[in-house]
Amino acid sequence: MRPVGARCSARIWPGGWMCWPSPSCWCPVRRRHLAGSTLVSPIVRRPADVSCSRRSGCRRWPRRRPPARRCCPPQRSTGEASVREERGCMSNGLEMTTESSAEAGWVCFMDAGAQRVGWLEAGSVRPVALELAAALALATPPDDARAARAARPLETLTLALPLVPGARVFCIQRNYQAHAQELGGEAPAQPAIFLRARQSLVAANATLLRPRVSECHDYEGELAVVIGRPARHVTREQALHYVGAYSCFNDGSIRDWQRQSITAGKNFEASGALGPALVPASRVSHPNALEVRTHLNGREVQSGSTRQMIHDVAALVAYLSDMTCLQPGDVIATGTPEGVGWARQPPLWLQPGDVVSVEVEQVGRLVNRVTQEP
């Protein structure tokens, strides 16, 4: 038996593609002698998903689109005005927050077709010459007078998803006891984890897509933890020192698909959101005692506190660091409190035109409007 970690020979058929550490990674196998070469994982360097398909090059299958699933009755409860009935009033004069906001933090925004990083404070964004992963290690931006003169009002910018290229998004299931009970189950003894792909998330103020194939689009307001430096096998006592920032997270879910596969239900295109800013950990005094609220069309539908989490921030960071080496920019969505639409009678699903707002104390407000997928 070959010892663990021992080198072995790989058999490669001519005509394929491979990678090795060099300025030009992708090269035809037939054009280079492989003896002595060090191969690396052939995954594209952009934030890619590793997905299976029935045919090479096909990422979406099955080819036939399943029919839309009607998973809730059309009628509403009669005891009080529903969130859906209130929407018309909200659009005709009642005050409703429709813009995301944060006191201070790192943001990504679009500038002449390119994504840039900036420091948000007092409603203005100051561009910085930093990659987002490097910015996460800083509590405040570098002092640059030229950048200060170039500060731009937040409302004039198109925000981009504040996610480091290649970063992973770890999501925690049923991390609030009341939420676990409203779904009819017990909370797991250890953190239950699933992953979200980058394509399933949008930036603050961007539109969430209600999919063609389902009517069961649900909201989940959460605190997001962003790793600031590599973390491997850290203790619970050390864990918070590896947190670079906090943000707001909407773990948008397609519930009928989730019943069959949590990966499918949590990874529909543009179904969730992250942002608006990554607030440095130094500016969040007590991450385990933050109020988390979700509003739908101006009405509060979720209200909880991170003190109610079964596994707190430090426990989650330590647990995940035992599983994998956490990298700067990796995100941990810490779970949602009770009040999700799935648990209501009748269920309360997101509809085109709805405005969803996730607010986390000391962190900010993430606002998105829902639109129907074409």
Give a yes or no: residue 251 inside a domain.
yes
Q: Residue 324 falls within a domain, yes or no?
A: yes
Identify the pLDDT of residue 203: 99
**Residue type, position 250, single letter:** N
Contact 249, 277 (CB under 8 A): no
Question: At residue 343, what are phi and psi to the nearest 5 degrees?
Answer: -85, -5
**Which CATH number characterizes residue 286's domain?**
3.90.850.10
Q: Are the beta carbons of 220 and 340 closer than 8 angstroms?
A: yes
Query: 175: domain range?
Result: 161-372
Domains of the chain: total: 1
Task: Return the pLDDT at 140.
Answer: 81
Is 4 inside a domain boundary?
A: no
- The pLDDT value recorded for residue 9 is 55
| H-only helix segments in the chain | 83-90, 132-135, 145-149, 177-182, 236-239, 255-260, 262-265, 313-323
| Domain annotation covers residue 311 | yes
Q: Is residue 119 part of a domain?
A: no
Q: Is 357 part of a structural domain of the chain?
A: yes
Q: What is the pLDDT of residue 55?
A: 39
Q: How high is the pLDDT of residue 371?
A: 99
Instruction: Please name the residue that has the structure tokens 């607010």.
Output: 359
pLDDT score recorded for residue 143: 77
Mean pLDDT by 10 residues, the chain (374 residues): 53 56 46 53 54 42 46 41 46 55 94 95 92 91 70 95 98 90 79 98 99 98 98 98 98 97 98 98 96 98 96 98 99 97 95 98 98 98
Q: In this structure, is residue 285 part of a structural domain?
A: yes
pLDDT at residue number 38 = 60
Which residue, among 117, 114, 120, 139, has the nearest Cα to 128 in the 3D structure? 117
pLDDT at 64: 44
Other beta carbons within 10 Å of 322: 10
- The first and second tokens of residue 348, run together, are 């309360």
Confirm whether 145 is domain-assigned: no
The reported pLDDT for the residue numbered 145 is 54
> How high is the pLDDT of residue 276?
98
